[in-house]
A and B are shown apart, each in its own frame.
Chain A
Amino acid sequence: MREYALFLGCLIPARLPSLEAVSVKVLERFGIGTKPMIGASCCPDPIVMKSLDYKAWLAIAARNLSIAEEMKLDVLTLCSGCFSTLSKANKVLKENSNLKNEIGGFLSEINRGFLGTINVRQVAEVIREIGQEAIKQRLQRTLEQLRVATQHGCHLVRPSDVLHVDDPNRPTILDEIVSWVGAKPIDYPLKMLCCGVGIKAIDPETNLVMLREKLESIKEAEANCIVTPCPFCFIQFDMGQREVNRKFNERYAFPVFYITELLGLAVGLSPEEIGLQFHTTPVKEV
Protein backbone atom coordinates (compact mmCIF):
# COMPACT_ATOMS: atom_id res chain seq x y z
CA MET A 1 0.00 0.00 0.00
CA ARG A 2 1.34 3.40 -1.03
CA GLU A 3 1.47 5.80 1.91
CA TYR A 4 1.68 9.58 2.12
CA ALA A 5 2.09 12.20 4.83
CA LEU A 6 -1.24 14.00 4.55
CA PHE A 7 -0.85 17.77 4.71
CA LEU A 8 -4.22 19.20 5.69
CA GLY A 9 -3.51 22.94 5.63
CA CYS A 10 -6.24 25.31 6.84
CA LEU A 11 -9.14 25.76 4.45
CA ILE A 12 -10.06 22.07 4.20
CA PRO A 13 -9.89 20.98 7.86
CA ALA A 14 -11.37 24.25 9.16
CA ARG A 15 -13.98 25.16 6.54
CA LEU A 16 -14.50 22.18 4.23
CA PRO A 17 -13.90 19.13 6.43
CA SER A 18 -16.21 17.00 4.27
CA LEU A 19 -13.53 17.20 1.55
CA GLU A 20 -10.97 15.84 4.02
CA ALA A 21 -13.24 12.95 5.01
CA VAL A 22 -14.16 11.94 1.47
CA SER A 23 -10.57 12.21 0.21
CA VAL A 24 -9.20 9.87 2.87
CA LYS A 25 -12.09 7.44 2.29
CA VAL A 26 -11.76 7.39 -1.50
CA LEU A 27 -7.97 7.13 -1.55
CA GLU A 28 -8.17 4.18 0.84
CA ARG A 29 -10.43 2.35 -1.62
CA PHE A 30 -7.60 2.53 -4.12
CA GLY A 31 -5.00 1.34 -1.63
CA ILE A 32 -3.51 4.74 -0.89
CA GLY A 33 -2.90 5.32 2.81
CA THR A 34 -2.52 8.68 4.55
CA LYS A 35 -0.79 9.47 7.84
CA PRO A 36 -1.41 12.69 9.78
CA MET A 37 1.45 15.19 10.05
CA ILE A 38 1.58 15.85 13.78
CA GLY A 39 2.05 19.54 14.56
CA ALA A 40 1.77 20.78 10.96
CA SER A 41 0.63 24.38 10.59
CA CYS A 42 -0.63 26.51 7.71
CA CYS A 43 1.59 25.90 4.66
CA PRO A 44 1.63 29.19 4.63
CA ASP A 45 -0.36 30.40 1.63
CA PRO A 46 1.51 31.51 -1.53
CA ILE A 47 -0.41 34.75 -2.03
CA VAL A 48 -0.77 36.57 1.30
CA MET A 49 1.97 35.32 3.62
CA LYS A 50 4.53 34.95 0.84
CA SER A 51 3.86 38.61 -0.01
CA LEU A 52 4.01 39.95 3.53
CA ASP A 53 7.18 38.23 4.66
CA TYR A 54 8.94 35.86 2.29
CA LYS A 55 11.39 34.54 4.87
CA ALA A 56 8.75 33.78 7.48
CA TRP A 57 6.76 32.07 4.71
CA LEU A 58 9.78 30.00 3.70
CA ALA A 59 10.72 29.13 7.28
CA ILE A 60 7.25 27.90 8.21
CA ALA A 61 7.03 25.90 4.98
CA ALA A 62 10.44 24.37 5.76
CA ARG A 63 9.19 23.37 9.19
CA ASN A 64 6.19 21.62 7.63
CA LEU A 65 8.45 19.82 5.17
CA SER A 66 10.72 18.72 8.03
CA ILE A 67 7.77 16.95 9.68
CA ALA A 68 7.23 14.82 6.56
CA GLU A 69 10.97 14.25 6.26
CA GLU A 70 10.96 12.78 9.77
CA MET A 71 8.10 10.50 8.70
CA LYS A 72 10.13 9.50 5.62
CA LEU A 73 7.06 9.96 3.45
CA ASP A 74 6.22 12.17 0.48
CA VAL A 75 3.66 14.87 1.22
CA LEU A 76 0.16 14.64 -0.20
CA THR A 77 -1.70 17.97 -0.38
CA LEU A 78 -5.43 18.32 -0.98
CA CYS A 79 -5.03 22.03 -1.71
CA SER A 80 -3.27 23.61 -4.66
CA GLY A 81 -2.18 26.55 -2.50
CA CYS A 82 -0.39 24.18 -0.12
CA PHE A 83 0.98 22.33 -3.14
CA SER A 84 2.40 25.56 -4.57
CA THR A 85 3.96 26.72 -1.30
CA LEU A 86 5.48 23.41 -0.22
CA SER A 87 6.77 22.62 -3.73
CA LYS A 88 8.34 26.04 -4.19
CA ALA A 89 9.87 26.03 -0.70
CA ASN A 90 11.23 22.52 -1.28
CA LYS A 91 12.86 23.67 -4.53
CA VAL A 92 14.24 26.95 -3.16
CA LEU A 93 15.74 25.25 -0.11
CA LYS A 94 17.31 22.55 -2.25
CA GLU A 95 18.81 24.99 -4.77
CA ASN A 96 19.55 28.28 -3.02
CA SER A 97 22.34 27.75 -0.52
CA ASN A 98 22.12 31.25 0.99
CA LEU A 99 18.44 30.89 1.83
CA LYS A 100 18.98 27.29 2.91
CA ASN A 101 21.63 28.41 5.40
CA GLU A 102 19.59 31.29 6.73
CA ILE A 103 16.40 29.25 7.12
CA GLY A 104 18.45 26.31 8.44
CA GLY A 105 19.68 28.63 11.19
CA PHE A 106 16.09 29.47 12.17
CA LEU A 107 15.12 25.80 12.12
CA SER A 108 18.00 24.74 14.35
CA GLU A 109 16.66 27.14 17.00
CA ILE A 110 13.55 24.96 17.20
CA ASN A 111 15.57 21.73 16.95
CA ARG A 112 14.62 21.03 13.38
CA GLY A 113 16.38 20.94 10.05
CA PHE A 114 15.65 20.79 6.34
CA LEU A 115 17.07 17.69 4.64
CA GLY A 116 15.52 17.86 1.16
CA THR A 117 14.64 14.17 1.12
CA ILE A 118 10.98 14.15 0.13
CA ASN A 119 8.66 15.25 -2.68
CA VAL A 120 5.34 17.08 -2.60
CA ARG A 121 2.32 15.73 -4.49
CA GLN A 122 -1.14 17.09 -5.27
CA VAL A 123 -4.16 14.79 -4.98
CA ALA A 124 -5.02 15.10 -8.71
CA GLU A 125 -1.58 13.70 -9.61
CA VAL A 126 -1.98 10.85 -7.18
CA ILE A 127 -5.38 9.98 -8.67
CA ARG A 128 -3.90 10.01 -12.18
CA GLU A 129 -1.28 7.58 -10.94
CA ILE A 130 -3.97 5.13 -9.84
CA GLY A 131 -4.58 4.82 -13.56
CA GLN A 132 -7.51 4.33 -15.87
CA GLU A 133 -7.68 0.54 -15.50
CA ALA A 134 -7.72 0.46 -11.69
CA ILE A 135 -10.35 3.18 -11.62
CA LYS A 136 -12.54 1.50 -14.27
CA GLN A 137 -12.51 -1.75 -12.32
CA ARG A 138 -14.16 -0.04 -9.35
CA LEU A 139 -16.82 1.98 -11.12
CA GLN A 140 -20.21 1.42 -9.50
CA ARG A 141 -22.22 4.30 -10.87
CA THR A 142 -22.63 5.66 -14.34
CA LEU A 143 -21.84 9.35 -14.58
CA GLU A 144 -22.42 9.74 -18.30
CA GLN A 145 -25.02 12.46 -17.67
CA LEU A 146 -22.31 14.75 -16.28
CA ARG A 147 -20.98 17.31 -18.75
CA VAL A 148 -18.01 18.56 -16.79
CA ALA A 149 -16.27 21.92 -17.00
CA THR A 150 -12.88 21.22 -15.46
CA GLN A 151 -11.33 23.95 -13.31
CA HIS A 152 -7.68 23.01 -13.00
CA GLY A 153 -6.84 26.26 -11.24
CA CYS A 154 -3.48 28.02 -11.37
CA HIS A 155 -1.40 26.47 -8.61
CA LEU A 156 -1.77 22.89 -9.82
CA VAL A 157 0.32 23.55 -12.95
CA ARG A 158 2.13 26.89 -12.66
CA PRO A 159 4.89 27.98 -12.41
CA SER A 160 6.26 25.25 -14.64
CA ASP A 161 9.81 25.56 -13.31
CA VAL A 162 8.49 24.34 -9.95
CA LEU A 163 5.44 22.20 -10.75
CA HIS A 164 5.59 19.39 -13.27
CA VAL A 165 2.05 18.01 -13.15
CA ASP A 166 0.96 18.90 -16.67
CA ASP A 167 1.21 21.49 -19.42
CA PRO A 168 1.18 24.86 -17.59
CA ASN A 169 -1.15 26.55 -20.07
CA ARG A 170 -3.29 23.74 -21.47
CA PRO A 171 -3.52 21.03 -18.84
CA THR A 172 -5.73 17.99 -19.43
CA ILE A 173 -5.15 15.95 -16.27
CA LEU A 174 -8.64 16.62 -14.92
CA ASP A 175 -10.31 15.99 -18.27
CA GLU A 176 -8.57 12.61 -18.34
CA ILE A 177 -9.76 11.64 -14.86
CA VAL A 178 -13.28 12.88 -15.67
CA SER A 179 -13.41 10.67 -18.76
CA TRP A 180 -12.07 7.67 -16.79
CA VAL A 181 -15.13 7.80 -14.50
CA GLY A 182 -17.45 7.87 -17.51
CA ALA A 183 -18.35 11.57 -17.43
CA LYS A 184 -17.85 13.92 -20.37
CA PRO A 185 -15.22 16.68 -20.13
CA ILE A 186 -16.36 19.84 -21.92
CA ASP A 187 -13.86 22.30 -23.33
CA TYR A 188 -14.68 25.97 -22.80
CA PRO A 189 -12.91 29.17 -23.86
CA LEU A 190 -12.11 30.49 -20.38
CA LYS A 191 -10.96 27.14 -19.02
CA MET A 192 -7.65 28.52 -17.75
CA LEU A 193 -8.96 31.82 -16.38
CA CYS A 194 -8.01 32.23 -12.71
CA CYS A 195 -10.84 31.92 -10.14
CA GLY A 196 -9.61 35.23 -8.74
CA VAL A 197 -9.47 34.26 -5.07
CA GLY A 198 -6.12 36.07 -4.81
CA ILE A 199 -7.77 39.48 -5.14
CA LYS A 200 -11.03 38.68 -3.36
CA ALA A 201 -9.95 40.51 -0.21
CA ILE A 202 -8.53 43.50 -2.12
CA ASP A 203 -11.07 44.00 -4.90
CA PRO A 204 -14.13 41.79 -4.35
CA GLU A 205 -16.09 43.47 -7.14
CA THR A 206 -13.53 42.69 -9.84
CA ASN A 207 -13.34 39.17 -8.50
CA LEU A 208 -17.08 38.69 -9.00
CA VAL A 209 -16.86 40.01 -12.57
CA MET A 210 -14.09 37.49 -13.22
CA LEU A 211 -16.19 34.67 -11.78
CA ARG A 212 -19.19 35.72 -13.80
CA GLU A 213 -17.20 35.65 -17.04
CA LYS A 214 -16.00 32.20 -16.22
CA LEU A 215 -19.48 30.94 -15.33
CA GLU A 216 -20.88 32.42 -18.55
CA SER A 217 -18.20 30.63 -20.55
CA ILE A 218 -19.13 27.36 -18.83
CA LYS A 219 -22.81 27.97 -19.55
CA GLU A 220 -22.19 28.71 -23.22
CA ALA A 221 -20.22 25.49 -23.56
CA GLU A 222 -23.28 23.67 -22.16
CA ALA A 223 -21.52 21.99 -19.29
CA ASN A 224 -23.73 21.02 -16.35
CA CYS A 225 -21.23 20.87 -13.50
CA ILE A 226 -17.73 21.94 -12.44
CA VAL A 227 -14.89 19.75 -11.13
CA THR A 228 -11.77 21.07 -9.37
CA PRO A 229 -8.90 19.71 -7.27
CA CYS A 230 -8.42 23.01 -5.38
CA PRO A 231 -10.48 23.98 -2.31
CA PHE A 232 -10.06 27.69 -3.06
CA CYS A 233 -11.48 27.26 -6.57
CA PHE A 234 -14.15 25.02 -4.99
CA ILE A 235 -15.30 27.75 -2.61
CA GLN A 236 -15.05 30.41 -5.29
CA PHE A 237 -17.48 28.47 -7.48
CA ASP A 238 -19.67 26.77 -4.88
CA MET A 239 -20.29 29.89 -2.78
CA GLY A 240 -19.28 32.47 -5.35
CA GLN A 241 -22.11 31.48 -7.69
CA ARG A 242 -24.58 32.70 -5.09
CA GLU A 243 -22.75 36.03 -4.83
CA VAL A 244 -22.58 36.41 -8.60
CA ASN A 245 -26.30 35.63 -8.87
CA ARG A 246 -27.18 38.26 -6.27
CA LYS A 247 -24.92 40.93 -7.68
CA PHE A 248 -25.78 40.49 -11.36
CA ASN A 249 -29.25 38.97 -11.10
CA GLU A 250 -28.07 35.75 -12.74
CA ARG A 251 -29.20 32.16 -12.16
CA TYR A 252 -26.07 30.07 -12.30
CA ALA A 253 -26.55 26.79 -10.44
CA PHE A 254 -23.69 24.50 -11.47
CA PRO A 255 -23.02 21.80 -8.90
CA VAL A 256 -19.31 21.93 -7.99
CA PHE A 257 -17.43 18.73 -7.23
CA TYR A 258 -14.04 18.47 -5.59
CA ILE A 259 -12.07 15.83 -7.50
CA THR A 260 -12.33 13.15 -4.79
CA GLU A 261 -16.07 13.78 -4.49
CA LEU A 262 -16.46 12.91 -8.17
CA LEU A 263 -14.38 9.80 -7.68
CA GLY A 264 -16.43 8.94 -4.59
CA LEU A 265 -19.63 9.13 -6.64
CA ALA A 266 -18.09 6.94 -9.33
CA VAL A 267 -17.09 4.20 -6.90
CA GLY A 268 -20.58 4.12 -5.43
CA LEU A 269 -20.47 6.20 -2.24
CA SER A 270 -23.84 7.76 -1.46
CA PRO A 271 -24.24 11.55 -1.78
CA GLU A 272 -24.56 11.71 2.03
CA GLU A 273 -21.38 9.69 2.58
CA ILE A 274 -19.57 12.09 0.26
CA GLY A 275 -20.99 15.12 2.04
CA LEU A 276 -22.72 16.71 -0.94
CA GLN A 277 -25.37 18.05 1.46
CA PHE A 278 -22.79 20.54 2.77
CA HIS A 279 -22.43 22.32 -0.57
CA THR A 280 -23.78 25.85 -0.93
CA THR A 281 -24.92 25.32 -4.53
CA PRO A 282 -27.22 22.30 -4.26
CA VAL A 283 -26.27 19.11 -6.06
CA LYS A 284 -29.41 17.76 -7.67
CA GLU A 285 -29.97 14.17 -8.66
CA VAL A 286 -26.75 12.74 -10.08
Chain B
Amino acid sequence: MKIVVTVKLVPDPNAEKRIDPATKRLVRTGVETVLNPYDEYALEAALQLKERSGDATVSVFSMGPEPLRETLRKALAMGADDAVYLSDAGLEGSDVWATAYAMSRALQKTGFDLLIVGGLTDDGSTGAVPGALAEYLGLPCITNARKVEIEGAELRVERETDGGFQTVRGPLPALLTTALTFGEPRYASLKGIMGAKKKTIAPMTLADLALDRAVGTGGSKMQLEHFAPPPVRGKGRTVEATDGASGAQAIFDFLKEKKLV
Protein backbone atom coordinates (compact mmCIF):
# COMPACT_ATOMS: atom_id res chain seq x y z
CA MET B 1 0.00 0.00 0.00
CA LYS B 2 1.27 3.45 -0.93
CA ILE B 3 0.51 6.29 1.44
CA VAL B 4 1.22 9.82 0.25
CA VAL B 5 1.39 12.68 2.72
CA THR B 6 1.20 16.24 1.46
CA VAL B 7 3.25 18.75 3.41
CA LYS B 8 3.69 22.46 3.10
CA LEU B 9 6.69 24.57 4.00
CA VAL B 10 5.73 27.63 6.06
CA PRO B 11 7.39 30.42 8.03
CA ASP B 12 8.06 29.31 11.62
CA PRO B 13 4.70 29.63 13.41
CA ASN B 14 6.39 30.38 16.73
CA ALA B 15 7.95 33.53 15.32
CA GLU B 16 6.01 36.78 15.61
CA LYS B 17 4.90 37.82 12.11
CA ARG B 18 5.10 41.37 10.89
CA ILE B 19 4.44 43.27 7.70
CA ASP B 20 6.98 45.46 5.97
CA PRO B 21 5.13 48.78 5.77
CA ALA B 22 6.86 49.64 2.48
CA THR B 23 6.21 46.43 0.52
CA LYS B 24 3.07 45.31 2.43
CA ARG B 25 4.55 41.82 2.36
CA LEU B 26 5.37 39.48 5.19
CA VAL B 27 8.88 39.99 6.52
CA ARG B 28 10.63 36.64 6.02
CA THR B 29 14.12 37.72 6.99
CA GLY B 30 15.12 36.01 10.21
CA VAL B 31 12.07 33.73 10.07
CA GLU B 32 13.00 30.11 9.45
CA THR B 33 11.02 27.93 7.04
CA VAL B 34 9.67 24.75 8.65
CA LEU B 35 7.26 21.92 7.88
CA ASN B 36 3.72 23.12 8.54
CA PRO B 37 3.12 21.80 12.08
CA TYR B 38 -0.28 20.33 11.14
CA ASP B 39 1.42 18.29 8.43
CA GLU B 40 3.71 16.64 10.97
CA TYR B 41 0.58 15.06 12.45
CA ALA B 42 -0.42 13.82 8.99
CA LEU B 43 3.04 12.32 8.59
CA GLU B 44 2.86 10.75 12.05
CA ALA B 45 -0.45 9.11 11.07
CA ALA B 46 1.09 7.73 7.88
CA LEU B 47 4.13 6.38 9.72
CA GLN B 48 1.94 4.68 12.32
CA LEU B 49 -0.16 3.06 9.58
CA LYS B 50 3.02 1.89 7.88
CA GLU B 51 4.33 0.36 11.10
CA ARG B 52 1.04 -1.45 11.70
CA SER B 53 0.61 -2.75 8.15
CA GLY B 54 4.18 -3.90 7.56
CA ASP B 55 4.04 -3.57 3.77
CA ALA B 56 3.18 0.11 3.27
CA THR B 57 5.40 2.85 1.91
CA VAL B 58 5.15 6.53 2.83
CA SER B 59 5.94 9.21 0.27
CA VAL B 60 5.89 12.92 0.91
CA PHE B 61 4.58 15.37 -1.64
CA SER B 62 5.14 19.09 -1.48
CA MET B 63 4.84 22.12 -3.69
CA GLY B 64 6.71 25.40 -3.29
CA PRO B 65 9.68 27.54 -4.26
CA GLU B 66 12.80 25.60 -5.27
CA PRO B 67 15.14 27.02 -2.55
CA LEU B 68 12.94 25.50 0.16
CA ARG B 69 13.32 21.97 -1.20
CA GLU B 70 15.83 20.78 1.42
CA THR B 71 13.36 21.55 4.23
CA LEU B 72 11.68 18.30 3.13
CA ARG B 73 14.61 16.36 4.59
CA LYS B 74 12.96 16.72 7.97
CA ALA B 75 10.00 14.63 6.76
CA LEU B 76 12.42 12.03 5.41
CA ALA B 77 14.33 12.07 8.71
CA MET B 78 11.07 11.40 10.58
CA GLY B 79 10.70 8.21 8.52
CA ALA B 80 9.13 8.90 5.11
CA ASP B 81 10.66 6.77 2.36
CA ASP B 82 10.97 9.38 -0.37
CA ALA B 83 9.64 12.73 -1.52
CA VAL B 84 8.34 14.47 -4.62
CA TYR B 85 8.71 18.24 -4.90
CA LEU B 86 6.65 20.20 -7.40
CA SER B 87 8.27 23.53 -8.05
CA ASP B 88 7.57 25.90 -10.92
CA ALA B 89 7.52 29.67 -11.36
CA GLY B 90 4.18 29.17 -13.10
CA LEU B 91 2.59 28.16 -9.79
CA GLU B 92 3.28 31.49 -8.07
CA GLY B 93 0.16 33.28 -6.94
CA SER B 94 -2.08 30.18 -7.21
CA ASP B 95 -5.29 30.38 -5.17
CA VAL B 96 -7.11 27.35 -3.70
CA TRP B 97 -8.78 26.55 -7.03
CA ALA B 98 -5.47 26.48 -8.92
CA THR B 99 -3.43 24.90 -6.10
CA ALA B 100 -5.83 21.99 -5.57
CA TYR B 101 -6.01 21.41 -9.32
CA ALA B 102 -2.23 21.34 -9.82
CA MET B 103 -1.78 19.14 -6.75
CA SER B 104 -4.45 16.72 -7.95
CA ARG B 105 -2.68 16.23 -11.26
CA ALA B 106 0.69 15.75 -9.60
CA LEU B 107 -0.78 13.22 -7.15
CA GLN B 108 -2.46 11.31 -9.96
CA LYS B 109 1.00 10.99 -11.45
CA THR B 110 2.67 9.77 -8.26
CA GLY B 111 -0.25 7.41 -7.52
CA PHE B 112 -1.41 6.41 -4.02
CA ASP B 113 -3.85 4.24 -2.11
CA LEU B 114 -4.28 6.67 0.75
CA LEU B 115 -3.67 10.41 0.73
CA ILE B 116 -3.14 12.17 4.06
CA VAL B 117 -3.21 15.95 4.22
CA GLY B 118 -2.55 18.20 7.22
CA GLY B 119 -5.71 19.82 8.54
CA LEU B 120 -4.75 23.43 8.02
CA THR B 121 -1.73 25.32 6.85
CA ASP B 122 -0.16 27.72 9.21
CA ASP B 123 0.73 30.52 6.85
CA GLY B 124 -2.65 32.05 6.35
CA SER B 125 -4.42 29.67 4.03
CA THR B 126 -8.06 28.69 4.03
CA GLY B 127 -8.48 25.09 5.20
CA ALA B 128 -10.32 24.52 1.92
CA VAL B 129 -7.57 22.71 -0.02
CA PRO B 130 -8.40 19.19 1.29
CA GLY B 131 -12.06 19.50 0.23
CA ALA B 132 -11.14 20.83 -3.21
CA LEU B 133 -8.39 18.24 -3.69
CA ALA B 134 -10.71 15.35 -2.81
CA GLU B 135 -13.22 16.71 -5.29
CA TYR B 136 -10.66 16.84 -8.14
CA LEU B 137 -9.45 13.34 -7.31
CA GLY B 138 -12.97 11.95 -6.90
CA LEU B 139 -12.17 10.68 -3.40
CA PRO B 140 -14.13 10.50 -0.16
CA CYS B 141 -12.90 13.37 2.01
CA ILE B 142 -12.62 12.35 5.67
CA THR B 143 -11.22 15.23 7.68
CA ASN B 144 -9.92 15.70 11.25
CA ALA B 145 -9.16 12.04 11.90
CA ARG B 146 -8.01 11.17 15.41
CA LYS B 147 -7.98 7.38 14.94
CA VAL B 148 -7.60 5.40 11.71
CA GLU B 149 -7.95 1.68 11.07
CA ILE B 150 -7.45 0.03 7.69
CA GLU B 151 -9.54 -3.11 7.22
CA GLY B 152 -8.84 -4.60 3.80
CA ALA B 153 -9.93 -2.03 1.23
CA GLU B 154 -11.86 -0.03 3.81
CA LEU B 155 -11.07 2.73 6.25
CA ARG B 156 -12.63 3.21 9.66
CA VAL B 157 -12.02 6.64 11.03
CA GLU B 158 -12.87 8.37 14.26
CA ARG B 159 -12.96 12.09 13.49
CA GLU B 160 -13.33 15.31 15.43
CA THR B 161 -16.37 17.42 14.63
CA ASP B 162 -17.27 20.95 15.73
CA GLY B 163 -19.22 19.60 18.67
CA GLY B 164 -17.84 16.13 19.37
CA PHE B 165 -16.78 13.19 17.22
CA GLN B 166 -18.02 10.77 14.56
CA THR B 167 -17.05 7.34 13.36
CA VAL B 168 -16.97 7.06 9.58
CA ARG B 169 -16.44 4.12 7.23
CA GLY B 170 -15.29 4.58 3.65
CA PRO B 171 -13.52 2.84 0.78
CA LEU B 172 -9.90 3.21 -0.32
CA PRO B 173 -8.50 5.18 -2.03
CA ALA B 174 -9.49 8.11 0.15
CA LEU B 175 -8.28 11.48 1.35
CA LEU B 176 -7.78 11.92 5.09
CA THR B 177 -6.80 14.91 7.14
CA THR B 178 -5.56 14.50 10.67
CA ALA B 179 -6.60 16.26 13.86
CA LEU B 180 -4.01 17.23 16.43
CA THR B 181 -5.50 14.64 18.77
CA PHE B 182 -4.07 11.93 16.54
CA GLY B 183 -0.93 11.95 18.66
CA GLU B 184 2.27 13.93 18.93
CA PRO B 185 4.52 13.70 15.89
CA ARG B 186 7.74 11.81 16.54
CA TYR B 187 11.15 13.43 16.65
CA ALA B 188 13.63 12.50 13.98
CA SER B 189 16.26 10.16 15.42
CA LEU B 190 19.96 10.63 14.69
CA LYS B 191 19.79 7.49 12.53
CA GLY B 192 16.78 8.97 10.72
CA ILE B 193 18.59 12.24 10.09
CA MET B 194 21.65 10.44 8.71
CA GLY B 195 19.50 8.12 6.58
CA ALA B 196 17.48 11.02 5.17
CA LYS B 197 20.54 12.34 3.37
CA LYS B 198 20.46 9.30 1.08
CA LYS B 199 16.73 9.38 0.33
CA THR B 200 15.49 10.92 -2.91
CA ILE B 201 13.57 14.13 -3.35
CA ALA B 202 12.31 13.79 -6.92
CA PRO B 203 11.72 17.09 -8.73
CA MET B 204 8.54 17.76 -10.66
CA THR B 205 7.55 20.79 -12.74
CA LEU B 206 4.38 21.87 -14.52
CA ALA B 207 5.85 20.45 -17.74
CA ASP B 208 5.45 16.98 -16.19
CA LEU B 209 1.73 17.49 -15.59
CA ALA B 210 0.18 18.53 -18.94
CA LEU B 211 -2.51 20.65 -17.24
CA ASP B 212 -5.71 21.54 -19.09
CA ARG B 213 -5.81 25.03 -17.69
CA ALA B 214 -3.52 27.75 -16.40
CA VAL B 215 -2.49 27.94 -12.75
CA GLY B 216 -0.58 30.66 -10.91
CA THR B 217 -1.84 34.22 -10.75
CA GLY B 218 -3.34 34.04 -14.25
CA GLY B 219 -5.18 30.81 -13.50
CA SER B 220 -6.66 31.94 -10.19
CA LYS B 221 -10.04 33.36 -9.26
CA MET B 222 -9.00 35.10 -6.10
CA GLN B 223 -7.12 38.35 -6.33
CA LEU B 224 -5.22 39.53 -3.28
CA GLU B 225 -5.77 43.28 -3.18
CA HIS B 226 -3.57 44.21 -0.26
CA PHE B 227 -2.24 43.37 3.16
CA ALA B 228 -3.02 45.56 6.09
CA PRO B 229 -1.58 45.49 9.59
CA PRO B 230 -4.04 44.35 12.25
CA PRO B 231 -5.59 46.76 14.72
CA VAL B 232 -3.06 47.55 17.43
CA ARG B 233 -3.80 46.20 20.87
CA GLY B 234 -1.91 48.03 23.59
CA LYS B 235 -0.98 46.98 27.07
CA GLY B 236 -3.75 47.82 29.51
CA ARG B 237 -3.86 48.27 33.25
CA THR B 238 -2.24 46.01 35.81
CA VAL B 239 -3.71 45.57 39.27
CA GLU B 240 -1.96 43.73 42.10
CA ALA B 241 -4.58 41.79 44.07
CA THR B 242 -3.64 41.31 47.69
CA ASP B 243 -6.53 38.89 48.26
CA GLY B 244 -9.46 37.30 46.42
CA ALA B 245 -11.91 40.03 47.32
CA SER B 246 -9.79 42.91 46.04
CA GLY B 247 -8.98 41.06 42.80
CA ALA B 248 -12.63 40.19 42.19
CA GLN B 249 -13.68 43.77 42.93
CA ALA B 250 -11.08 45.18 40.52
CA ILE B 251 -12.38 42.99 37.70
CA PHE B 252 -16.01 43.63 38.55
CA ASP B 253 -15.47 47.43 38.56
CA PHE B 254 -13.64 47.20 35.25
CA LEU B 255 -16.44 45.16 33.65
CA LYS B 256 -18.98 47.66 34.96
CA GLU B 257 -16.99 50.55 33.53
CA LYS B 258 -16.95 48.72 30.15
CA LYS B 259 -20.69 48.01 30.51
CA LEU B 260 -20.03 44.27 30.29
CA VAL B 261 -22.03 43.39 33.42
Q: Please determine whether chains A and B interact with each other in the same assembly.
A: no
Binding site for B on A (CB under 8 A): none
Binding site for A on B (CB under 8 A): none
